[in-house]
Chain A
Amino acid sequence: MAPALALIGLFLVFPALWTIYLGMTDYRLTGLQAVDPSFVGLDNYGRILGDPAFWRSLRLTLVFVLVSGIIGQSLLGFAIAWALRRLTGWLKSLIETLVLAAWVIPASVSSFLWIALLDRRGGTLNEILGTEGTAWLIEHPMAAIIIFNVWVGTAFSMLLFSSALAAVPPSQLESARMAGAGGWQQLRDVVIPNIRGHILTNTLLITLWTFNTFTPYLVTAGGPNGASEILAVYIYNTAIPGGQLGVGAAISLIMLLINLVIALGYLRVGRARQAKPADATAAETAGGVVKPS
């Protein structure tokens, strides 16, 4: 126990506390404050909350999480899993491999692939579309990183939903078919109720991962002019190129708190969901031992 606690303390608790401390200093990467930072209390937080760049970054992050994570990865992942469910043989393997490849390729490689695809001069997309000279990364930076992130992350949702769909009892689907239910009705009445727990877990994980991801930096570097500067990128740009380590630490803490709120929110929904089966068990032990008449 004790060595484990010491390690946790060393690698988790100490850095967290150190971040809180740094967030209340004017610590910088270079210059006088790098040698001798002074305590500035909550000044950093005041500056951040008054900075339009922070609010823009937060807004971009929300759009990014909503569109690329929750809508893009989850829905696309589910759609692919649903479409592949009856497919067998080489076609299924091929699609699964392609989707998985996007996930296992190192971020540095995949971001380079996307830059090569979207580049203004000699980019593959311009070649295909015949739109020589279009700077996709500059004209549509948010769309670019959203599509990039969907491409990278869909595999996880697909895998999770594939296994969830495999666990839906076929006889329930067939029962619905016998009753005359079409595809959408089967989805609504049988599939989604059966995989509700998986949907919740997937959305929680996807939300947190997308919220914290830094990989889009490798594609647009947050630019042009902060137009694709999601929160993780904003912290980096503030702390390292901007040199303001203290302010960066303060934003990090804000981000941590937002993460916490998201996770707690999902847990609450999950607990409300679990409360129902718990009721059921209670009723079963109380009056459920009814002899079949």
Chain B
Amino acid sequence: MAAITTQALVKEYPGGVRGVDGVDITIADGEFFALLGPSGCGKTTLLRSIAGLEAITEGQLHIGDRDVTRLEPGQRNVAMVFQDYALFPHMDVADNIAYPLKIRRQGRSARRGVAAEVGDGLSLTGLMERRPGQLSGGQQQRVALARAVATRPDVLLLDEPLSNLDARLRLEARTFLKELQRDLAITTVFVTHDQAEALALADRIAVMSAGKLLQVGTPREVFAKPATTFVAGFIGSTPMNLLPGRVEGSRVRFGSADVPVPPDAVGMVDDGAEVVWGARPEYLGWSTTAVEDGVEAEVTVVENLGASVLVTAAVGTDRLQLVLDEDHEPEPGARGWVTARAHRTLLFDAESGQRLDAGAGVPAVAP
């Protein structure tokens, strides 16, 4: 059990490309931490740098109170579960789980004992004699997890832990993973490109792009108060509405419509400033009668999401998307008013993309 601290961590590839570009991050002891970002953003490189599989070019990495920056992977007391699980096909389940113990020269009976015990905890009882090729995807994943935790590592690293499972199994495995992490209370870092996975599993999320951290926060923070327009667009199963506009007094005008300046940004913007107004589709409502601060719009498309509908409405030349309850589903072509809860709306600087927030001061990356 240990915290992970990186200081100005840089991983530079030959040719000058920086996979990780100056990352400062502190992951608390026992935390379930997600590295989230689109492919190529450096999240896997950061994970592999923590593992020791990538040599760190600059900066420092501490696990607990040890400086492990230059240590071999095997000396860091870190375990990793690979995306393809990387089970040894020629060993049975028990030998796979106990492999790290074999490297530590423990006797065969001790190894079988540990394998059985860890395997039981991961519902692998009765599968100990099988080869990986004879297991389902979910079972293979649990074997890989068992192998990782068999030696009680300080840190558990998971590379895209759910991506190799089919959709139905993924939800089940997600809950299982969260339970396991809580029971073992191992500091766990996982990499994912799926924002829903990160929101569901993690205690905190780091959103990355181009090797840098854009925002570190709890799922709720990252979802409700994204630090930049990039994070706002990346998080959420339906992307946030981001409308470019201009500040006019205490209102933001885009096209023919205008809305009040979000409470967070009051006092942060000058008259005439170019901004981006943001609101999540889930936080928008629909009214068939005129309401104060409502934006008049015409429904163009209605998409069924099961218990709710995704409505696209035209406001002049702009488009707004709303997630509405199935009982309040408007017809395409209907006219009405889009309503927004003011404290759920956000304002971003048009040029830098940073969120304007009077309460948080400079809306920078968390320390």
Contact = CB atoms under 8 A, between A and B. Distances in A.
Interface residues of A, number: 26
B123 interface: yes
B59 to A, nearest CB: 21
Nearest to A192: B90
Given A178-B80, A180-B75, A290-B139, A284 B86 contact: no
Interface stretch (B17-25, B27-35, B99-107, B296-304): B99-107
Contact of A185 (B78, B87, B103, B136): B103
A246 B102 CA distance: 60
B170 to A, nearest CB: 12
B283 interface: no
Interface string B64-76: 0000000011110
A292 B172 contact: yes
A89 to B, nearest CB: 10
A292 B51 contact: no
A277 B134 CA distance: 10
B80 A180 contact: no
Given A175-B80, A280-B131, A292-B138, A180 B104 contact: yes
B223 interface: no
B82 A175 contact: yes
Interface stretch (A56-64, A138-146, A166-174): A166-174
Interface in A150-202: 169, 171-172, 174-181, 185, 189-190, 193-194, 196
Which applies to chain A's interface (DSSP): helix, strand, loop or mixed?
A: helix
Contacts of A283: 130, 134
A288 B139 CA distance: 11
Contacts of A225: none
A179 B78 CA distance: 9
Given A180-B74, A293-B123, A171 B139 contact: no
Interface residues of B, number: 40
B53 interface: yes
B136 A292 contact: yes
A178 B78 contact: yes
A280 B130 CA distance: 8
A144 to B, nearest CB: 40
A286 to B, nearest CB: 10
Contacts of A179: 74, 99-100, 103, 147, 151
A22 to B, nearest CB: 49
Interface string A66-105: 0000000000000000000000000000000000000000
Given A171-B84, A175-B86, A293-B123, A181 B103 contact: yes
B61 interface: no
A283 B103 CA distance: 30
Contacts of A189: 88, 99, 102
Contacts of A193: 88-90
B177 to A, nearest CB: 13
B131 A292 contact: no
Contacts of A171: 82-86
B136 A178 contact: no
B86 A172 contact: yes
Contacts of B200: none
Contact of B169 (A175, A181, A292): A292
A290 B102 CA distance: 29
B133 interface: yes
Contacts of B88: 172, 175, 189-190, 193
B324 interface: no
A60 to B, nearest CB: 38
B139 A177 contact: no
A290 B130 CA distance: 12
Nearest to B148: A178
Interface string B117-144: 0000001000100110111111100100
Contacts of A169: 84, 86
A277 B89 CA distance: 10
Contacts of B103: 176, 179-181, 185
Interface string B304-341: 00000000000000000000000000000000000000
Nearest to B165: A292
A288 B86 contact: no
Contacts of B198: none
B82 A174 contact: yes
Interface string B169-182: 10010000000000
Nearest to A177: B73
A284 B134 contact: yes
Contact of A174 (B53, B135, B151, B172): B53
B79 interface: yes
15 contacts: A169-B84, A171-B82, A171-B84, A171-B85, A174-B86, A175-B147, A177-B74, A179-B103, A189-B102, A194-B89, A196-B90, A283-B134, A292-B137, A292-B138, A292-B142
Interface of B: 51-53, 72-75, 78-80, 82-90, 99-100, 102-104, 123, 127, 130-131, 133-139, 142, 147, 151, 169, 172
Given A176-B103, A179-B151, A180-B74, 10 more contacts: A172-B87, A175-B80, A177-B53, A179-B99, A179-B103, A179-B147, A189-B88, A189-B99, A190-B88, A284-B133
Interface of A: 169, 171-172, 174-181, 185, 189-190, 193-194, 196, 277, 280, 283-284, 288, 290-293
Interface pairs A-B: 6 shortest CB-CB: A180-B74, A292-B138, A171-B86, A179-B100, A193-B90, A175-B86
